[in-house]
Amino acid sequence: MAFACAMAMILVVGLYAGVSAQREKQKLNALRAERQRIETELQRVKAIADDTQPVVVLQNGDTRVIMQTPDSPYQQTKQVYY
């Protein structure tokens, strides 16, 4: 009887350890996927930042004027008010 109880206890502890290890592995995989997503997003943002147009922002109260700088390689000057 004692042997059967010991075997059952070993089985329960083994199953618990296996389930715990599986959960940790899933958490680690989720964190790796999240890190990869963040790194991909960071690379996309860096690419956008490298391709930005030089601008000048003039503000008076609630009104802002955003326009490209005169030495900009872009020909048309666009003004945006908001």
**Which tens digits make up the pLDDT trace of 28-42?**
999 999 999 999 999
Q: How many residues appear in the chain? A: 82
Q: Kindly indicate the confidence band of residue 49, based on its pLDDT and cuts at 50, 70 and 90.
A: confident
Report the C-alpha gap between 66 and 55 in whole angstroms: 7
Q: What is the pTM of this model?
A: 0.53
User: Does the pLDDT value for residue 72 go beyond 70?
Assistant: no
Choose between 2 and 26: higher pLDDT. Answer: 26
Report the C-alpha gap between 47 and 44 in whole angstroms: 5
53: Cβ contacts below 8 Å, ≥ 6 apart: 68, 72, 74
Residue-level pLDDT at 82: 53
